[in-house]
Structure 1
Amino acid sequence: MKYLPIDSQLFVRNRKKFTSEMKPNSLAVFNSNDIYPIGADSTMPFQQDRNIFYLSGVDQEESILVLFPDCPKENHREILFLRETNDHIAVWEGEKLTKEKALETSGIKTVYWLSEFERIFKELMSQSETVYINTNEHYRASIETQTREDRFNKWLKEKFPAHSVAKSNPILQRLRSVKDPVEIALIQEACDITEKAFRRVLGFVKPGVWEYEIEAEMMHEFLRNRSKGFAYTPIIASGNNANVLHYIENNKQCQDGDLILFDTAAEYANYSSDLSRTIPVNGKFTDRQKAVYNAVLRVKDEATKLLVPGTLWADYHVEVGKIMTSELLGLGLLDKADVQNENPDWPAYKKYFMHGTSHHMGLDTHDYGILTEPMKANMVFTVEPGIYIPDEGFGIRLEDDVVVQEKGEPLNLMKNIPIEAEEIEALMNS
């Protein structure tokens, strides 16, 4: 892994929080993700299942974590099963986790090779009544591919039909949404790497550059700072491309007078950052562009203040909609009749700002969190309002990542990344 070692006590704490929510005499199982094939002997880069990583720190394929806090055998209350390494694997694929290294990484003392899994797991199941399975129930999830976890869950239910089955997901949705200080530090590192990349492109962009060239500049800076790369598919949208919310082709030439909307950010140690900025190709906003830009910035700043403990998700978005409506009236994009006659299910402001303002962030860019429950301290959210005007050939989105505080305004993890229009102009022209 490119990232520096993470203190194993993070994962010890995470497991303790998870097992404290389990039913008596139950066990939970978590599998690593597959390495997905492309064709011939090619594969996609490995991405670890976020739940097994959250609970163990193990970032390796073909790994299984079993948690059984009431197990009669004390040494079987936490078990890691790993792919056994050997000299051949070391030569062809590189170093894999040894049992000693797995303990150092996870804090788990009992480590077996995968070849022993079925024998030991049969014994564990004979001692338990309920088994927690790992399923992806994120509100944005839309999955057609059968995962390693899916195959395992099918095998488990066929092999042990008399056991009660419970879901790990509701527990993890709550636990993962509130970040440990170590996690916040890792997200901050991802944000700091993103800052370096953004400052790099401020000095690179000029009329005639291509969107993919900007993408390459950012990737260069990510890799040289221990990131695997982009936390999500990058959006580098010049001109009217910015009005396509998920524009990812990044294949157009940037023209003098246009704006470029960036939605690009680094990961670090599997933790995401999520940044949006909008800059002028030639280093100078027009008066109209700057007026819209500053309106978006005001909405972002006011929306950020609303992210406090106790706030309800639905109420938050209603309030942000009111702030945005006021700004759109000021810009002449809406008039009073538009607002008076609006459809409550699709308010007038949605013509120019059609997506949500915030989402949870962490191990996943759209991280776990239950949207019907009040916000809590140490939750991490994006704040990302935008105004999109196809008729004028540009769209503007601004986004920072913030941590909800027990008292006061959220902590902005991206406070050092340039955002004021005048600062961006000055840096582009320095």
Structure 2
Amino acid sequence: MKAEVFAHRRADFLTRLGEEAAAILAAAPPRLRNRDVEFPYRQDSDFYYLTGFPEPNAVAVFLPGRKRGQYVLFCQEYDAQKAIWEGDHAGLKGARKLYGAEEAYSINEIDAVIPKLLVGRKRLYCSLGKDLQFEQKVFLWVGAVKRQARAGVGAPEEFIDIGRVLHEMRLIKFPEEVAAIRRAAEISAQAHLRAMQVCRPGLYEYQIEAEIIHQFMQNGARSPAYPSIVASGANACVLHYTSNNKRLAAGELLLIDAGAEYDYYAADVTRTFPVDGRFTSPQRAIYELVLEAQLAAIDKVRPGNRWNEPHEAAVRVLVKGLVKLGLLDGSPARLIKSEAYKDFYMHRTGHWLGMDVHDVGSYKVDDEWRELRPGMVLTVEPGLYIRPNCKHVPKKWRGIGVRIEDDVLVTESGCEVLTEAVPKTVEAIEAWMGAKRENL
């Protein structure tokens, strides 16, 4: 995204803080994969949202009203030797010129400089409960200011979780953010279509995963937004299954939960389809019930409705259908009240989506479910999971796991399904999988 986007976000953030406050954010640390090999670096979402700065070993300080500069960045100085091994990096000059810092200091100067920046500030916004080691540093910096009290120096007296301000900002997506999510959704849709295209009995789950990752990278998404779930047969009843090492068998369903990350923004898509291209009668019954629940939930995604309304709509459809199929017995209203359906549907119907696949933003405000507003993006993902050891249900249902998930943007007049390019009716799935076999 352009530098102007981050500058606009910082200006909004500084206004929300107020002039007696300061805020401190740390970059994500590098993570070791094994011994001296690191995982590919990915910046902390909060830090990147305000700075656009992609490097580790950095700290951003925000000081509303400060004449010498309201945005101060501490980072690594430019090191020509490091550049030979790891590539170019910003250095202090780049921090100012490329990333909009009004002042830039070496990260090695941070202990001496930050206490000076906090003098006279009454409130300090920082991440709480996220990185205890960094929080201890923050307390030490504040302590250094407090030790100057006899000289009339004021120190922050109130610590506030930065998410109270920043996560409210991130919850409503601006057009450039929607564009990034839309592109992530498009790439993810292509990957799911590709997975359906190549799927056949005898392949391994990880071979389908490889096709998905290939499609992501071919389209500029260098990383999945989360570990891909490629779960065949009974593995689909394991909600966060990621082993992806079973061989696909004819007669089974394949549940794929996979989304690309594009320009720091995530997609999150799930489709369930038959390995050999045709649903069995029990599979079709469960699948169509989940699809009916998803469509009912999506219908409730509109401005003015509450966060819980899509979930409640999905649960009503699922419980009524489970009774009709004989998997639950009793009054739907009583079954919902007793949560008897949780034997088969144990998760919520969605979550916020953005820079993080389970994005920030509270679901309740003042103990009331949050009202949906234009610019919010959420997933809608009901499912049914009938585990193989469910001895109290007829054998034909056991081992069937189905989830259908789309990414949905709240608009001024209703909603837009960003991932609708992936077929999800039984007829559309079977037609696509049949057509691809003719072309193989």
- Counterpart CA distance in 2 for 1:206 and 1:150 is 51
Letter aligned with residue 155 of structure 1: L
* Corresponding residue for residue 355 of structure 1: 347
Local SS of the residue matching 1:20: helix
More displaced 10-residue stretch of structure 1: 371-380 or 316-325: 316-325
Equivalent pairs, count: 412
Contact 2:299–2:310, Cα closer than 8 Å, also in 1 = no
The 1:268/1:36 distance shift into structure 2, 3 A limit, reads same
1:59 maps to which residue? 54
Report how far residue 341 of structure 1 moved: 4.8
- Taking a change above 3 Å as real, the CA distance of residues 105 and 310 of structure 1, as seen in their structure-2 partners, is farther
Aligned to 1:150: 135
Q: For residues 345-387 of structure 1, what are the alpha-carbon distances to aligned partners after superposition, in whole Å with 9 as ceiling and x for unaligned?
A: x423222211100100101111111111322211100000011
1:2-41 residue pairs with structure 2 within 5 A?
Answer: 6-41=1-36
**Correspondences of 1:26-105 after superposition (within 5 Å):** 26-71=21-66, 73=67, 75-99=68-92, 101-103=94-96, 105=98
- The reply to whether residue 426 of structure 1 matches residue 396 of structure 2 is no
Alignment match of 1:365 (pick from 357, 364, 371): 357
1:306 to 300, 304, 310: 300
- The Cα shift of 1:316 comes to 4.2
Residues 8 and 104 in structure 1, CA contact (< 8 A), matched pair in contact too = no
Normalization by structure 1: what TM-score? 0.90
- 1:113 counterpart = 2:78: no
Q: State the partner residue of 1:392.
A: 398
Give distance in 1, aligned partners of 2:138 and 2:331.
Answer: 52
Matched, 1:198 2:192: yes
> Residues 387 and 135 of structure 1: is their aligned pair in 2 closer, same or farther, counting only changes over 3 Å?
same
Structure 1: distance between partners of 2:206 and 2:178: 31
**1:377 and 2:374 matched:** yes
Q: Which moved more, 1:386-395 or 1:174-183?
A: 386-395
Gaps of 5+ in 2: 147-154, 365-369, 388-396, 436-440
Identify the residue that residue 122 of structure 2 maps to in structure 1. Answer: 129
Name whichever of 112-121 and 267-276 sits farther off: 112-121
Displacement of 1:264 after TM fit?
Answer: 1.0
TM-score, normalised by the number of residues in structure 2:
0.88
1:272-311 map, 5 Å: 272-311=266-305
Task: Please give the alpha-carbon distance, in whole angstroms, between the structure 2 residues aligned to 1:216 and 1:240.
Answer: 21
Is residue 415 of structure 2 the alignment partner of residue 415 of structure 1?
no
State whether residues 57 and 105 of structure 1, in contact with CA within 8 Å, keep that contact through their aligned partners in structure 2: no
**d(CA) in 2 for partners of 1:28 and 1:153?**
11
CA distance change for structure 1 residues 320 and 157 in 2, over 3 Å: closer, same or farther?
Answer: farther
Q: What code does the residue aligned with 1:207 have?
A: P
What is the distance in 1 between the residues matched to 2:161 and 2:361? 15
Q: Give the letter aligned to residue 428 of structure 1.
A: M
Q: Indicate how the Cα distance of structure 1 residues 197 and 151 shifts in structure 2: closer, same or farther if over 3 A, else same.
A: farther
Give the Cα–Cα distance (whole angstroms) in 1 for the partners of residues 165 and 171 of structure 2: 10
- Percent identity, please: 33
Aligned to 1:247: 241
Q: 1:147 to 1:260 in 2, by over 3 A?
A: farther
SS in structure 2 at match of 1:215: helix
Is contact 1:36–1:43 with CA below 8 Å preserved after alignment? yes
Opposite residue 113 of structure 1, the aligned amino acid is S
Match among 208, 216, 239 for residue 222 of structure 1: 216
More divergent stretch after superposition (389-398 vs 87-96):
389-398
Structure 1: gaps (5+ residues): 1-5, 137-142
Deviation digits for residues 110-169 of structure 1 (CA, Å, limit 9, x no counterpart): 333323433432321224232211235xxxxxx7xx466435334334434442222211
Residue 175 of structure 1 aligns to a residue whose secondary structure is: helix
> Which letter maps to 1:333?
L
**Alpha-carbon contact 2:229-2:255 (below 8 Å) kept:** yes
Say if 2:231 and 2:241, in contact at 8 Å, map to a contact too: yes
Q: Which has the larger radius of gyration?
A: 2
Q: Secondary structure at the match of 1:76?
A: coil
Q: Which amino acid aligns with 2:276?
A: N
SS in 1 for 2:273: strand
Structure-2 separation of matches of 1:429 and 1:314: 38
Partner amino acid, structure 1, of 2:249: Q
Distance verdict in 2 for CA 1:200–1:342, change over 3 Å? closer
1:97: Cα distance to partner?
A: 1.8
Larger displacement relative to structure 2 (225-234 or 39-48)? 39-48
Equivalent pair of 1:34/1:148 in contact (CA under 8 Å): no
**Structure 1 residue 39, shift from structure 2 partner:** 3.9
User: Corresponding residue for 2:262?
Assistant: 268
Contact map agreement 1:31 1:65 (CA 8 A) in 2: yes
